[in-house]
Chain A
């Protein structure tokens, strides 16, 4: 399940990059010094 979700995000991010679409809408958060995606759990 987790692996699938990761693949999905990789695909999405890759598609964004390929199309030159900004990933600015994706938010990040900082926990314990780690810069994480907001949906990282």
Chain B
């Protein structure tokens, strides 16, 4: 049911207070409510987009060029699901196990802890289950399956159900500003509406689900107002923030037979095996091949004729017989979680008086080398197996730094309140509970210990379902 923010003070004790209405918050709230729990579900923004609300998400970027923060996450009902692309993929088993030679990449849980939620997550996101990976002979690479949500916009899809659910109090214009604590547990969530009026929500347990930027920002601000009594060990708070750096690495001429075996709807997704990752001291990555125009293929053939004219002439004949085709070749890599990539609070305040975000973010050498190794590895495989030839960009083949031309990062916000059993290395434990608090939990991609290459939404929903099951088991 809908509840006005002004009714919160008199709403009594909830079983759960879920803060945020993106995929993590709505999934958690609906799962708990279905179990008969009384849930306050709070959205800082309104039911629809407003510029006034979105202004709260303006921030500063320090480091590499990055997308403006006010555009990469959304402050209204449904959260950032309102502009996600719908790409779905699970993290790989090796993402949870950690990468050899890369510290702090191991999660305290395993892929098998999330696998029980595959089917339910697929239903929520309206996608089919993933097809099994298909190894590319003994290349160390595999063709891997993505699924595509319509995409599900959580506010739009689940709004009517939330408003009709008697166990849910859905409240708009209810921005978290602080937590009250007795030292061991949260006793109230302090809420402010857009007019500046303040309210309190009382619940047995609180779940912060405001996304990969705001979860850190809100906890940093809650800590600043409470002398670090909310996240008591602040060593990793806001830190180990991650993205999925992505760059074009080249172009590919390949046999139509190979293309048909790996491409679906004009695109192929290829990723390295766990063994290849270990053997090459690389981070995980996604290599994707996307069909190009005939004109682009001809330009490539003209180029290869300069260095291998016999091959070029042969390839041209094959193209004209529809036996050869061309693709753009892009790569997205896992980012090594590092303390220095972090969210901090600015001296500048938003209209509610909350400090704005400063995001410190740079891509590093580990990601650069992973780009190179993966792109070269697939190029070598294609030549050796004679299924194609790859033209790599100069920066891939050089020892230099990143290319000057910039490519979009996808806007995947991960880390900042990462999961670890060690409170020096993580804000939440394996059950997403904040270390040192009895009843405060975090949901969403901010808990990712490491990020793999997979688009995060599918894992966010899996983790939210797992958290909900854990919370139900406690009460």
A interface residues with partner B (beta carbon < 8 Å):
2-3, 6, 9-10, 12-13, 16-17, 20-24, 26, 28, 30-37, 40-41
Residue in B136, B137, B255, B304 whose CB lies within 8 Å of A34 = B304
B352 at the interface (CB under 8 A from A): no
Contact between B384 and A41 (Cβ–Cβ < 8 Å)?
no
Q: Which residues of B contact A10 (CB under 8 A)?
A: 255, 386-387
Contact between B376 and A35 (Cβ–Cβ < 8 Å)?
yes
Query: Complex Cα distance A3/B303, Å?
Result: 20
Contact between A32 and B303 (Cβ–Cβ < 8 Å)?
yes
Q: Known contacts A21-B138, A34-B304, A36-B311: does B389 contact A3 (CB below 8 Å)?
A: no
Query: Complex Cα distance A13/B313, Å?
Result: 21
B393 at the interface (CB under 8 A from A): yes
Query: Complex Cα distance A36/B310, Å?
Result: 12
Contact between A33 and B397 (Cβ–Cβ < 8 Å)?
yes
Interface of B is mostly: helix
Least CB distance from A21 to B in Å reads 7
Least CB distance from B11 to A in Å reads 64
Taken residue by residue from 303 to 314, chain B's Cβ proximity to chain A (1 for < 8 Å, 0 otherwise) reads as 110111111011
Q: Which residues of A contact B436 (CB under 8 A)?
A: none
B380 at the interface (CB under 8 A from A): yes
Query: Complex Cα distance A13/B137, Å?
Result: 10
Q: Which residues of A contact B383 (CB under 8 A)?
A: 26, 28, 35-37, 40
Residue in B250, B306, B307, B384 whose CB lies within 8 Å of A37 = B384
Q: Which residues of A contact B394 (CB under 8 A)?
A: 33
Q: Which residues of B contact A41 (CB under 8 A)?
A: 308-311
Least CB distance from B474 to A in Å reads 49
Taken residue by residue from 360 to 387, chain B's Cβ proximity to chain A (1 for < 8 Å, 0 otherwise) reads as 0000000000000000100111111111
Residue in B309, B313, B393 whose CB lies within 8 Å of A33 = B393
B interface residues with partner A (beta carbon < 8 Å):
136-139, 250, 255, 303-304, 306-311, 313-314, 317-318, 376, 379-387, 389-394, 397
Q: Known contacts A6-B314, A16-B385: does B138 contact A35 (CB below 8 Å)?
A: no
Least CB distance from B254 to A in Å reads 12
Query: Complex Cα distance A32/B300, Å?
Result: 12
Q: Which residues of B contact A32 (CB under 8 A)?
A: 303-304, 306-307, 391
Residue on A nearest B375 in the bound complex, by CB = A35
Residue on A nearest B137 in the bound complex, by CB = A17
Query: Complex Cα distance A7/B286, Å?
Result: 30
Contact between A17 and B314 (Cβ–Cβ < 8 Å)?
no
Least CB distance from A18 to B in Å reads 8
Contact between A28 and B384 (Cβ–Cβ < 8 Å)?
yes
Q: Which residues of A contact B385 (CB under 8 A)?
A: 13, 16-17, 23
Contact between B384 and A2 (Cβ–Cβ < 8 Å)?
no
Contact between A31 and B310 (Cβ–Cβ < 8 Å)?
no
Q: Which residues of A contact B376 (CB under 8 A)?
A: 35
Residue in B304, B306, B317, B380 whose CB lies within 8 Å of A3 = B317
Contact between B137 and A20 (Cβ–Cβ < 8 Å)?
yes
Q: Which residues of B contact A21 (CB under 8 A)?
A: 138
Contact between B313 and A2 (Cβ–Cβ < 8 Å)?
yes
Q: Known contacts A21-B138, A33-B397, A36-B311: does B392 contact A13 (CB below 8 Å)?
A: no
Query: Complex Cα distance A17/B389, Å?
Result: 17
Q: Known contacts A9-B386, A13-B385, A20-B137: does B308 contact A33 (CB below 8 Å)?
A: no
Residue on B nearest A8 in the bound complex, by CB = B386
The 5 residue pairs across chains A and B that have the minimum distance between CB atoms:
A17-B137, A31-B307, A35-B379, A23-B384, A32-B307
Contact between A36 and B387 (Cβ–Cβ < 8 Å)?
no
Query: Complex Cα distance A12/B310, Å?
Result: 20
Looking at A13, A21, A26, A34, the one whose CB has the most chain B CB atoms below 10 A away is A34
Q: Which residues of A contact B255 (CB under 8 A)?
A: 10
Contact between A16 and B137 (Cβ–Cβ < 8 Å)?
yes
Looking at A13, A20, A21, the one whose CB has the most chain B CB atoms below 10 A away is A13
Contact between B137 and A35 (Cβ–Cβ < 8 Å)?
no
Q: Known contacts A3-B317, A9-B386, A30-B397: does B138 contact A20 (CB below 8 Å)?
A: yes
Q: Known contacts A2-B314, A10-B255, A41-B310: does B391 contact A33 (CB below 8 Å)?
A: yes
Q: Which residues of B contact A30 (CB under 8 A)?
A: 392, 397
Q: Known contacts A33-B391, A41-B311: does B306 contact A22 (CB below 8 Å)?
A: no
Some 13 contacts from A to B, beta carbons below 8 A apart, are A2-B310, A3-B314, A6-B314, A13-B384, A13-B387, A17-B138, A28-B384, A31-B308, A33-B394, A33-B397, A34-B307, A35-B389, A37-B386
Q: Which residues of A contact B390 (CB under 8 A)?
A: 34-35
